[in-house]
Amino acid sequence: MQITVLVDNNTIIDRYLLGEPGVSFLIREGGKNILFDVGYSDIFITNARKLGISLYDVDYTVISHGHIDHTWGLEPMIRMYSEAKIENIYFRKPVLIAHPQAFESKYNDNKAIGSVITEKTLGDFFEMNLKREPFWITDRLAFLGEIERTNSFENKKPIGKRVVQGIEESDFLMDDTALAYKSEEGLVIITGCSHSGICNIINYAKQVCNDDRITDVIGGLHLLNPEVETLERTKEFIRQTGVKKLHPCHCTDLKSKLALSEVAELEEVGAGLVLEF
């Protein structure tokens, strides 16, 4: 498997790519091209072009959850496909994989923080595959679906509201999910924001993939000024689980990175980074 970071808050020096507070990874595995999240704007398309990567042959677009910094790139992606059709440029119609709640209306302090593209509109441009259950994209790469939440220190507080059939309710981001890849050395976990809790995600990935070895975790860990208990228990979980390497990015602050570096090998992440497993 190969992962290319198209979007992150940071960029890799001397690559001259763009960064923004969002996430987008291009994954190549088993002969398939998988776009994981699309960031906040069109810079995942701009960065892909600078890296010589075509997004016309994406087989799957996977959305980790419905927040703006992971979904708003869907609008320029649709525009890219529409313009390609006008210019008679060949492109594949990707399968869009996400949790069924990913495209619901989401608000925080009366500000919209969810997808601006509805599920109905997306269906005109993607083959929709909205699932709560795990789904194997390739023989080795799994979409985890709805993450089981089994500990008491993660995902304790809602983030804003979700609107269901016109009724507002607290949003605990049940749509937050991740990918897991079965490498020869163990599992590689790929996350967007880890709102469901990185420890919950790792435990569920181990269950889905029937493998207790965690060789790497790349993505946002939702550790932005975390409570002391949350950071300490996450740190202890990473140590006890034997996670070999971490590539934390996006929504992971410096204090949390430094703490986690005490229990696992920690590597830098930025747009332009390429990882091979």
**pLDDT tens-digit map of 69-98:** 999 999 999 999 999 999 999 999 999 999
Comparing CA positions, the residue from 93, 14, 3, 75 lying closest to residue 39 is 75
Mean pLDDT of the 118-143 span: 97
Backbone angles phi, psi at 182, to 5 degrees: -90, 95
CATH homologous superfamily of 2-276 equals Ribonuclease Z/Hydroxyacylglutathione hydrolase-like (3.60.15.10)
Mean pLDDT of the 150-159 span: 94
Residue type (1 letter), 263: V
How does pLDDT run across 22-70, given as a tens digit for each residue? 999 999 999 999 999 999 999 999 999 999 999 999 999 999 999 999 9
Task: Give the separation between CA 124 and CA 10, rounded to whole angstroms.
Answer: 33
More confident of the two residues 166 and 253:
253
Mean pLDDT of the 179-203 span: 98
At 15, the pLDDT band (50, 70, 90 cuts) reads confident
Tokens linked to 206 = 């181990």
With tokens 């006890």, the residue in question is 240
What pLDDT shows up at residue 195?
98
- What's the farthest any 2 CA atoms get from each other in the chain? 56
At 166, the pLDDT band (50, 70, 90 cuts) reads confident
Backbone angles phi, psi at 197, to 5 degrees: 100, 125
Contacts of 258 (CB under 8 A, 6+ apart): none
- When the pLDDT of each residue in the chain is averaged and rounded to a whole number, the result is 97
Task: Give the separation between CA 192 and CA 178, rounded to whole angstroms.
Answer: 7
At 266, the pLDDT band (50, 70, 90 cuts) reads very high
What pLDDT shows up at residue 124?
94
Contact between 91 and 122 (Cβ < 8 Å) = no
Provide the 3-class DSSP secondary structure of residue 251: coil
What pLDDT shows up at residue 164?
85
Task: Give the separation between CA 129 and CA 186, rounded to whole angstroms.
Answer: 27
CA dihedral for 230, 236, 241, 244, sign (positive or negative): positive
| The pTM of the whole model exceeds 0.95 | yes
At 165, the pLDDT band (50, 70, 90 cuts) reads confident
Q: Give the residue extent of every domain in the chain.
A: 2-276
